């Protein structure tokens, strides 16, 4: 029988360091961790050698931390190609995106969606344009690997938060890998910090987007990820991971001596309005300074318009 999960309380968020220049992620990504950055930065290690993110996505935490050395990895080759283009030619990518903005319309969206540019700059500009004007910023491809997300409701292609030069400067400090999560995690050594945010592949609170994730990240992948992270901890790395709050996930990580915390966030990913709302998630860490009894979990309650954490029995 698997050990019961260790559930620890979520500490309060410390004041933000206003001396650090904020960088807004250049992409919106399903399951992005801007909510995590806003609420839970204090669960991260205070010091680390190298930052490693095996599921980069919009890299919200990377841009918040702005580490001096990092590894960003993602299986999505178009995503990594976009980061490579911005890192080396941010001005040209911005100009190409501005061209898309001038031509933007419903018809133009589908015209761009049907194209297959060959240059790195054109690929990056297409990726950014589609990401900002498609439905909910979803990245989805069909069996032929063709992007097939319909046009969304937003028309803003150039954003006030865009800072291509700052994004490029941050990315120049990172090794970019287009590949399996293990390609990045297996590089972790003593003192490195891994932040793993995999696709969620178990049902939690009727999140319809899970159905699509199951096709791209199976339960076997979840087990393989947990084993990779446990091996990295044995090598001396620190780990923080997020996942769906589901018994199978809690058992998976508690049996490998990780600590599980429960939190919640608002999700607007699902196409059906009935599936949008607050969703419980796990924050999984390789160590914890504070722990509460195993039969306690933290669940958010609403007070004064802000979430607070309260301990209640399972």
Q: Residue ranges of the domains in the chain?
A: 6-75+179-313, 87-162
Percent of the chain with pLDDT over 70: 76
Fold for 87-162, please state it.
Adenine-specific Methyltransferase; domain 2 (1.10.1020)
**Alpha carbon distances (Å) from 269 to 4, 161, 198, 280:** 31, 22, 16, 14
The string of pLDDT tens digits covering residues 159-182 is 999 999 999 999 999 999 999 999
| pLDDT for residue 18 is more than 80 | no
Domain 6-75+179-313 shares a fold with domain 87-162: no
The answer to whether the predicted template modeling score (pTM) of the entire model surpasses 0.85 is no
The string of pLDDT tens digits covering residues 31-74 is 778 889 999 999 999 999 999 999 999 999 999 999 999 999 99
User: Phi first, then psi: what are they for 298, rounded to 5°?
Assistant: -100, 130
Cα–Cα distance measured from residue 185 to residue 56, given in angstroms and rounded to the nearest whole number: 12
Lowest-pLDDT range of 184-188, 220-224, 241-245, 267-271 = 267-271
Contact 195, 52 (CB under 8 A): yes
The string of pLDDT tens digits covering residues 252-311 is 999 999 999 999 876 554 444 444 456 789 999 996 433 333 333 333 322 222 223 322
| Average confidence (pLDDT) over 219-229 | 96
Q: Which of 281-306 are b and which e, b meaning 16 or more Cβ less than 10 Å from the residue's Cβ?
A: bbbbbbebeeeeeeeebbbbeeeeee
Say whether domain 6-75+179-313 belongs to CATH 3.40.50.150: yes
Region of residue 57 (left: phi > 0; alpha: psi -120 to 50; beta: else): left
């Amino acid at each position: 029988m698997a050990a019961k999960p260790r559930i620890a309380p979520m500490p309060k968020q410390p004041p933000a360091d206003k001396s650090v220049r904020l960088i807004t992620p250049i992409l919106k990504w399903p399951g992005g961790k801007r909510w995590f950055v806003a609420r839970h930065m204090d669960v991260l290690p205070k010091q680390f050698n190298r930052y490693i993110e095996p599921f980069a996505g919009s890299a919200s935490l990377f841009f918040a931390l702005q580490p001096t050395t990092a590894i960003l990895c993602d299986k999505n080759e178009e995503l990594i190609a976009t980061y490579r283009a911005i890192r080396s030619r941010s001005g040209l990518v911005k100009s190409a995106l501005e061209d898309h903005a001038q031509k933007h319309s419903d018809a133009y969206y589908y015209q761009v969606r049907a194209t297959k540019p060959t240059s790195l700059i054109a690929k990056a500009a297409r990726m950014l344009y589609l990401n900002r004007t498609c439905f909910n910023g979803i990245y989805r491809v069909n069996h032929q690997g063709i992007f097939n997300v319909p046009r969304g409701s937003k028309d803003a292609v150039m954003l006030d938060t865009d800072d291509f030069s700052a994004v490029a400067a941050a990315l120049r400090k990172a090794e970019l890998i287009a590949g399996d999560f293990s390609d990045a995690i297996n590089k972790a050594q003593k003192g490195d910090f891994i932040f793993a945010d995999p696709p969620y592949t178990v049902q939690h609170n009727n999140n319809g987007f899970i159905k699509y994730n199951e096709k791209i990240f199976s339960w076997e992948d979840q087990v393989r990820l947990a084993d990779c992270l446990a091996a990295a901890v044995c090598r001396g790395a620190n780990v923080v991971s997020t996942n769906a709050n589901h018994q199978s996930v809690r058992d998976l990580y508690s049996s490998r001596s990780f600590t599980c915390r429960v939190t919640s966030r608002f999700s607007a990913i699902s196409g059906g309005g009935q599936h949008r709302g607050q969703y419980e998630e796990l924050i999984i860490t390789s160590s914890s300074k504070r722990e509460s009894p195993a039969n306690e979990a933290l669940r958010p309650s609403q007070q004064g318009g802000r979430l607070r954490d309260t301990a209640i029995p399972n």
